[in-house]
Chain A
Amino acid sequence: GQNIDQPTEMTATEGAIVQINCTYQTSGFNGLFWYQQHAGEAPTFLSYNVLDGLEEKGRFSSFLSRSKGYSYLLLKELQMKDSASYLCAVMDSNYQLIWGAGTKLIIKP
């Protein structure tokens, strides 16, 4: 079966760094996505990785290891507005997104 695992909830301090992990087992692989979702809103795109390595985009970076079925999202210089759920999603061989349950990130002052 297809499965994506990520922690349910994480807490971090404003100004700090946090890493959200995602492991996956899917039928085929056409890339891994990270989305941010604030409560009551639709997801917004953060990053896309299809090759191994680190993709950096401002305060956010995303890493992928296809051999390990593993990715992480790294958030630096955390701000209160970063409090949200972070969704990991993998595009399978049929170009459909398989979604993780999301990680709720709580930022404390």
Chain B
Amino acid sequence: GAVVSQHPSWVICKSGTSVKIECRSLDFQATTMFWYRQFPKQSLMLMATSNEGSKATYEQGVEKDKFLINHASLTLSTLTVTSAHPEDSSFYICSARVTEYEQYFGPGTRLTVT
């Protein structure tokens, strides 16, 4: 089956620093990947849609200059949280679209900003 990995699985950083999270499709090519954020006891919130070779499409209310997304290849998308603050602490999950109806999720990255 389709496998999606994320790295790192957890990260702790200091306020003001930047953190990069990688999302890879291991055994298939994904022209579209999605980035989600999930706060405790809440559902997934789509942050942006990442398309290979083009700019990401951000959801309303998500700051594109703060959450930089790069989808440079068909197997890798990265999310960089710039100038992180404690309120950015969350569970970040990526998914990769296999078909219009199928997407596979990565294991998630737990970000804690101190």
Contacts and interface: CB of A to CB of B under 8 A. Distances in A.
A45 B99 CA distance: 14
A97 B34 CA distance: 10
B43 A31 contact: no
A42 B43 contact: no
A97 B45 CA distance: 10
Contacts of B45: 99
Contact of A97 (B42, B93, B103, B104): B103
A40 B41 CA distance: 10
Given A40-B91, A42-B93, A42-B108, A31 B101 contact: yes
Given A42-B108, A100-B43, A30 B100 contact: yes
Interface residues of B, number: 19
Find the residue from B43, B107, B110 having the highest chain A CB count within 10 A. B43
Sort chain A's interface into a size bin: 20 to 34
Contacts of B104: 45
Interface of B: 41-46, 49, 91, 93, 100-108, 110
A101 B43 contact: yes
Contacts of B46: 96-97, 99
A40 B93 CA distance: 11
A42 B100 CA distance: 20
A41 B108 contact: yes
When A and B form their complex, which 5 residue pairs have the shortest distance between CB atoms, in order from nearest? Answer: A42-B105, A101-B43, A42-B108, A99-B43, A99-B44
A91 B101 contact: yes
Contacts of A101: 42-43
Contacts of A48: 101
A64 interface: no
A101 B44 CA distance: 8
Contacts of A43: 44, 93, 105
Contacts of A100: 43
B107 A42 contact: yes
